[in-house]
Structure 1
Amino acid sequence: MFDTMTMTKIVGGLCSTLLIFLLGGWAAELIYHGSGGHYDEEQAYVIEVEGGDGEEVAEVVEVPFEELYAAATADAGEAVFRNCRACHAVEAGQNGTGPYLHGVVGRDVGAAQGFNYSGALSEAADVWTPENLNAFLEDPKGYAPGTSMSYNGLRDPEDRANLIAYLDSLDG
């Protein structure tokens, strides 16, 4: 069916196609970025904007957690809890991949009955206060290095405050 010459033509065609794509990519990179690789050169044309010097940076106002927590709602926190539902339960005594969260606000760290903790949490804090929960939920591995919690954390402080308000409302 196939002889050596046919196979040689097929392999040669594939190699030449690959070579064309590689050379095309190299040429496009050369055209787009230039030959020197200097990206910090001055722009050829600058559009001047009235009243702006380009150096203005928006000032970020950071609201203290206490104010966010005072304004937090449990209903909004229940929506945020969907991220946690895969590993945690809100019913007392029902541990999953993570411990149950019923009554977690104000509870001693590592005190969920029947859950085997990693030990890193008890070194980070004694009691799950709203402030401790906020710091832990922001960056679990940074707050308690060595924790077995694989979640990367909630970046939005309002979401964290709402979630903590929801967890606080569970036990009345």
Structure 2
Amino acid sequence: MFNTMTLTKVVGGLCGTFLIFLLGNWVAETIYHVGPSGSHGENEVAQAYAIEVADAGGESEEEAIPFADVYAMADADAGAKVFNKCKACHKLDGTNSTGPHLDGVVDRQVASLDGFAYSDALAGLDNAWTPEHLSEFLASPKGYAPGTKMGFAGLPKVEDRANIIAYLATMPN
């Protein structure tokens, strides 16, 4: 039942299938050629058309309002909801976790808690966590203190930052 002729047909079928796939790949690369030498995007290619963006380099409207004005209208209850993003690393009960506890953080000296190993980036700062400094830090932790251990990307909305700072200001030390 299984002889040399059957084995030859099976091997021939597999080789033929492989050849079809190779030829299909060659045809697809020829039809969908990208780049000047088939480099698949390694060289920059000019766009077919440009999309105009209004006021691309201008300052956003939310940053045009001074932070002090936004902070004056902040809602601590809304800040409690935003704080849910922080709960994974920070506590409000006076105990440190992955990050230092945040009760009493508003107007506290930066890197001033005993028993927490701050990064050199934060330990080197000599200022207090005023609402303005907290807002700058929360907007971009790595931009404010390059080398910080805090892996959070930041809060881009100034309202969210003001609300969470207002919430943290209600937490006793």
**Band the TM-score falls in, shorter-chain normalisation:** 0.7 to 0.9
Shift of 1:114: 1.9
What's 2:17 paired with? 13
What's 1:158 paired with? 159
Superposed CA offset, 1:61-87 (max 9, x none) = 321110111011110101111111111
RMSD (Å), alpha carbons: 3.0
Query: What is the identity percentage for the equivalent residue pairs of Structure 1 and Structure 2?
Result: 41
Match of 1:88 among 64, 87, 90: 90
Superposed CA offset, 1:87-113 (max 9, x none) = 111111x11110000100011111223
What's 2:71 paired with? 69
The code of the aligned residue for 1:112 comes to L
1:23 aligns with 2:27: yes
Structure 2 distance, partners of 1:56, 1:152, is: 27
Asked if 2 retains the 8 angstrom alpha-carbon contact of 1:123 and 1:144, the reply is no
Q: Structure 1 residues 147 and 155 mapped into 2: Cα distance closer, same or farther (>3 Å)?
A: same
Q: Structure 1 residues 18 and 70 mapped into 2: Cα distance closer, same or farther (>3 Å)?
A: farther
What's 1:39 paired with? 47
The code of the aligned residue for 1:120 comes to A
Superposed CA offset, 1:90-145 (max 9, x none) = 111x1111000010001111122321111211323421111111111111111111
The code of the aligned residue for 1:121 comes to L
TM-score normalised per structure 1: 0.74
Unpaired segments of 5 or more residues in structure 2? Answer: 35-44
Any idea what SS the aligned residue of 1:97 has? coil
What is the aligned residue count?
154
The code of the aligned residue for 2:21 comes to T
Unpaired segments of 5 or more residues in structure 1? Answer: 31-36, 43-53
Shift of 1:38: 4.8
TM-score normalised per structure 2: 0.74
